[in-house]
Structure 1
Amino acid sequence: MPLFRQIIGKRCRKCLRIITKTANQLNLIPKYPCRPTHGTEIACLPRRHQGQLGDILLVSGVTQSKTALDDAGLRNLEVLASPPLNDSGPGKQYLNRLLHITGALQTSLDVNKVIETFSIEIKSILPHHSIHYHYLEQQITVEVGDKARNSCSYQLVVCGQSLGQITLSRSKKFSSQETALLEKLLCCLVYPLRNSLLFRNAQQAALKDPLTGINNRAAMDITLARELELARRHKTPLTLITLDIDRFKQINDTHGHLAGDHVLKAVTDIIAECMRSSDILFRYGGEEFTIILSNTGLRGATLLAERVRKAIESRTITANNRHIPLTVSIGLATANAADTRESLFDKADVAMYQAKSAGRNCVIAYEAAPAA
């Protein structure tokens, strides 16, 4: 039954055995897909042709476990309950349409694209003006179309995991038949949507520093290249700040690495308190941080850098009941038209090491060497 295995999803394919029996081979004939209370089967699926019961699909677990088919998988059986699998008429066309929708949804791992594709694919069989999708856990909101007066909403859940809420709207009210159809169509959506959310989560995790929770070096490379392009396009200033904790190795050697981790997190919090909402903070590596300041020239960046330096110097940080004095050396550089991501960072880094050489606990702006 390859067609059936495609519909119920990848999770169930490896752990199910599917057989068919005619109605007179069973003592109990279910009226709808269900979980039997006796026997080894984990689900029964009656299949009808022209309103008459034809045969019954029994889904059995390969193992002794009877939990392989979750609620979402059981609901997916209802997709197969309506049209007969061997019908070449409307029922088969309907099932082929569902398979086409499922296939289309699996062509992308971008959440926005998955929702947009779902809207496009179902519009011919379930007319609507808009789809609104919201997933609070990852702060995702997708809007497709213009919101209308009447709507219906569903909480999407797979294997006990919430995937957020989806709302369809249009000017005309949705009938009970249409909401029943939508529930079947959502069965095509939930697994591709879950895959896209997992992929997005993995992507974001790869761009975060696990200790401090802020953006990491890989994220800085991507963001700085983007901000440089925007600054060139709109002819706005862009400044990069590099910041290094003074004598951090001594902190680790004296107080231990757990204390060093505590210091890194404390410095992260202090910098975040001093920043504007438009500034972007990164942990570049070790005890070095960077801040991208869009639409900010040298004067504004220097004011921010001094605010950060003073805040860190004045803050009382303790570890193992011992006070840890902290200072930072800060360098900054403002981009020019010829700067690349690498050249701008090198300038700010040079300025930061100049601050180290000048006695630490100070801010120095990069100055190009005078032409010979």
Structure 2
Amino acid sequence: MAQIGINGQLISANQDSNEKVVCPGCLRPVVRRAGSIRQPYFAHLRHQSCDSLAEGETSEHLTGKIQLAQWFSQQGATVSIEEPLLKLHQRPDLLINHRLAVEFQCSPISNQRLNERQIGYDGGHYQQLWLLGSPYQKKFQLHLTKIAKFIVFHPCYGACVLFWSVAHQCLEVRFNIGIIPLCPVVSQRKRFKRWHDWRQFWQMTTVSKHFNQGEVSAKTHRHQRQRLQWGLIHYDAQTLRWQAQCYQAKTLLQRLPDWVLGDLVEPPAFIQNELSWRIPLYLWWRAHPTASERQCQFAWTRIVSPQLSWLPNRQLAEKQQRQRLIKLRFQHFFSLNHQKQL
């Protein structure tokens, strides 16, 4: 991509233009090169170097940066592409109004590297917006651990992840992300063509029933039992462990009440399947139906706590956030309604 003049419009190398163009990173002149074999591209003049724009970027990443720059510019924002933040030794994909660092993440990034960048922006008092590309969209349903580090917990919309859709040229929010044991990740989706509309949505503080996560349906429970049956037939190691635990308690895996498999869509918190602690905890409670709250807390500490592995996420690393999520799960699991079904 290149820029027409110093403050001009960004254009792609696929666009044939006679305008004089410059590199949006270093503002030095570039020329368009196109041939019969290689895709069109912009190149710096001979003997000129530029460290502003990253090498080896994917087509989606380059296109997304162009779209985002134009998207913000059209709405009156000041946009800088890959402007070096010298004090931080960082260079965001876009810098909006000199304060908002926008990163369009299409390639894998380690938890450590992500944390370093986020801490760097925080230290420089920059707001930050992480938008994911299509590679993370494809993984969304199958690999929660791949997107967990980008999850933002919103007071109204629960667990959220932000995407930039190159195909639709809009910002997409996946919100109320929830998990149900043995089922794909569930979420709601909303797209925004304008930055102002997204800001209004994101700044909402009143919880609407439309955005609350609901109860697990009977159809979903049937799907869960089919998955358990499949695991038994195919000798799945995890399913066999659960079956053995049930045998020891003189019951069968297929006889577990629906609520043990999960009767609410829960926000993501743990790496492992939550049945790994729900089943043994239920079996303990089944053997001690009159247990006091103190005894239930002790059972939680003994059975559940040693198994918990938290998803890699900045907010989930906070003690207060962990305590809140554990409290919600504990209270719901040991509810009076569940006790009646023992």
TM-score scaled by structure 1? Answer: 0.26
Which structure features the higher share of strand residues?
1
The structure whose Rg is larger is 1
Which structure features the higher share of helix residues?
1
